[in-house]
Amino acid sequence: MLISDLQIPGTYLISNDVHTDNRGSFENIFKETDFKDLGVEFSIKQVNLSRNTHKGTLRGLHFQKHPSMESKIVNCMAGKIFDVMVDLRPDSHFFGFWQSVILEPAQNAVVIPRGVAHGFQTLEENCLVQYLHSGDYAADLNSGLKFDDPSVNVCWPEDISEISDRDKGLPTLGELRKQL
């Protein structure tokens, strides 16, 4: 497993070392000591799967507010996704900045720290996305950033085929700034 810095501080790209033979393949998707070596504390409290039938499905941009902020490790187990992170840490020089990576099975994953919103758009049919969470879900502290906020200007690569009413109604960066 190779872990490299991404542009937003505290975000990392994990490149998996896949071992293949005549039986198939094997890969390690999480090793706590690799993260500790980088100074990143991450203990898994919850694991979730997101199944997405249609190409163009958009989920996000989500995060949990204080005191239930959490870090995530996200990988794509089937299909291909455009994965997006937006820095919402008020004291960060990258506040409001977004970055993206393409996630595919057996290739890579991302580490998303507390205070950074996360979302993705499916680039293929039948995508399966796995989340490793460092904290427990708290419905009353679950929040998000509007996917099409012009002040952030995420460039989603596909027309949106599916999105929840909740995600359509999330606050803009300007509205969130007052809450953070």
Overall domain count for the chain: 1
Cis amide linkage into residue 141, ω under 30° from 0: no
pLDDT of the chain along its 180 residues, tens only?
Answer: 788 999 999 999 998 778 889 999 888 877 888 878 877 788 899 999 999 999 999 999 999 999 999 999 999 999 999 999 999 999 999 999 999 999 999 788 999 999 999 999 999 999 999 999 999 999 999 999 999 999 999 999 999 999 999 999 999 999 998 887
144 forms beta bridges with 62
The residues annotated as belonging to the active site are 62, 131
- Please give the pLDDT value at position 89: 96
- Give the 3-state secondary structure of residue 56: coil
Q: Which residues contact 58 (CB under 8 A, 6 or more apart)?
A: 119, 120, 121, 122, 147, 156, 160, 162, 163, 167
Give residue 145's domain range.
2-18+26-177
Dig out the tokens for 23 from the structure: 């039986």
Q: What is the CATH number of the domain that holds 90?
A: 2.60.120.10
Dig out the tokens for 65 from the structure: 């507010």
- Please give the pLDDT value at position 30: 79
Sheet harboring 116-122: ordered strands across? 98-103, 81-87, 116-122, 58-64, 142-144
- For residue 20, the 8-state DSSP code is E
- Please give the pLDDT value at position 118: 98
- Give the 3-state secondary structure of residue 14: strand
Query: Are 28 and 85 in contact, with CB atoms under 8 Å apart?
Result: no
